[in-house]
Amino acid sequence: MAAALLMLVSAGAQTLTFRWQNTQRQYLMFEPSGRTGALPVMYFLHGLGDNITRCASDMNFASLANEYGWIILVPQAMSVQGSTMWNVGFGGTADDAGFFLALVDSLAGIGKVNTDSLFFTGFSMGGFMTHKMAIEHGDRINACAPVSGLITFALADEVPVAPVRMLHIHGTSDNVVGWNGGSSYFGNIGIGVDSIVNFWTGWNDCAGTPEVDSLPDRVNDGLSFVRYRYTGGDAEFQLIKVIGGSHDFYLDSTTHDIDYFDVIHKFFLGDGSSLGCNKPGEAAPRFDVWPNPASGCLYVRTSESTVLTLLDSRGYSVMQDDFEPGVTRVDVRNLAKGLYVLVDRSGASRKVVVI
């Protein structure tokens, strides 16, 4: 994604460091003026080859922090073979996710941030990394908004740890990170946007048919913005399809129909009744299942007596049994490979993959 990725003009901002795995990791922190106490925090993850000082100027994070009343963290990716990149499967071994979470925990420890109001967004490879955070750490995150980033093939085989509210923004004319998963520069780099919709609406148990609305076409920018909203499950998924959109992060609402940060922030706020609507992990069922994916057998831990039903991908029951509190071994050797859903009598559910 090299030279074609977003490169922003340098800005004078103080670079902070946080020691993680014997490395001094760099980041910028923008705090709102006049606000104290534990505040919501939003991460912004930059693209391949970018850096935080170039990012800060055009993104205007200081102004956004004041407008939102939030802390904004902008971490720096490590350099791998001469180019900065996040560890999403294209190179590098850095534990970026561990760094992000350890940093926010340290800030929570001194009373600066509220870890129950944690949000991630990112552009290009930062969008890839945002999807990774949602898949592997969604139990700690309120909502994520990847822009022009996909899910890698390896990540698409993982089972998300929890439902998480997602907003994906992507241009149909993006040739760097293409709508269909290809790139003019790097070949096939991930699953396409249509598959991402299926991935998240499936894991979040959203309704199959979205609400569709076209955002106001206020500016003659040659673009159209169509929003698809999938609800009715454990967590909402939204797609904003930018018809004619290229590999860009549209900021100025005077020259484009929307400002991405404005749309993202409104999505993060949800219905306004609480930050992010659902707290991380709130929709998780009252039972645990492991290993997942499973082969041969799986184990189910329940906190109370209940009836559990295992449904196949067509919604047919393939198993139903009474479960007592504690751990129960379930034999799945005779089940066909594929996706199943384990449901208790309250309607709580957990997806199970048999391999």
Tens-place pLDDT, residues 19-45: 999 999 999 999 999 888 899 999 999
pTM of the model: 0.77
Calculate mean pLDDT across residues 113-126: 94
Which residue(s) pair with 42 in the sheet? Answer: 72, 119
- Residue 120: is its pLDDT beyond 70? yes
φ and ψ at residue 60, rounded to 5 degrees: 55, 50
Calculate mean pLDDT across residues 299-325: 83
What pLDDT was estimated at residue 279? Answer: 52
Q: Where in the chain is the domain with CATH 3.40.50.1820?
A: 16-269
Q: How far is CA 210 from CA 29, 194, 238, 239, in A?
A: 37, 13, 9, 10
Within 10 A of 114 (CB to CB), how many other CB atoms are there? 18
Question: Which top CATH class is 287-354?
Answer: mainly beta
Domain 16-269 has CATH 3.40.50.720: no
Calculate mean pLDDT across residues 198-214: 90
Calculate mean pLDDT across residues 181-188: 94
What pLDDT was estimated at residue 265? Answer: 95
Percentage of the chain exceeding pLDDT 90 = 55
- Residue 336: partners with Cβ closer than 8 Å, 6 or more residues away: 312, 354
Q: Distance (Å, rounded) from C-alpha 339 to C-alpha 202?
A: 10
pLDDT tens for residues 268-306? 988 544 444 445 544 445 677 878 788 888 888 887 788
Tell me which of 84 and 3 has the higher pLDDT: 84
What pLDDT was estimated at residue 280? Answer: 54
Mean pLDDT for the chain overall:
86
Return the biggest CA–CA distance within the chain. Answer: 63
Q: Where in the chain is the domain with CATH 2.60.40.10?
A: 287-354
What pLDDT was estimated at residue 284? Answer: 47
What pLDDT was estimated at residue 56? Answer: 87
Calculate mean pLDDT across residues 299-323: 83
Q: Is 60 in contact with 72 (CB distance < 8 Å)?
A: no
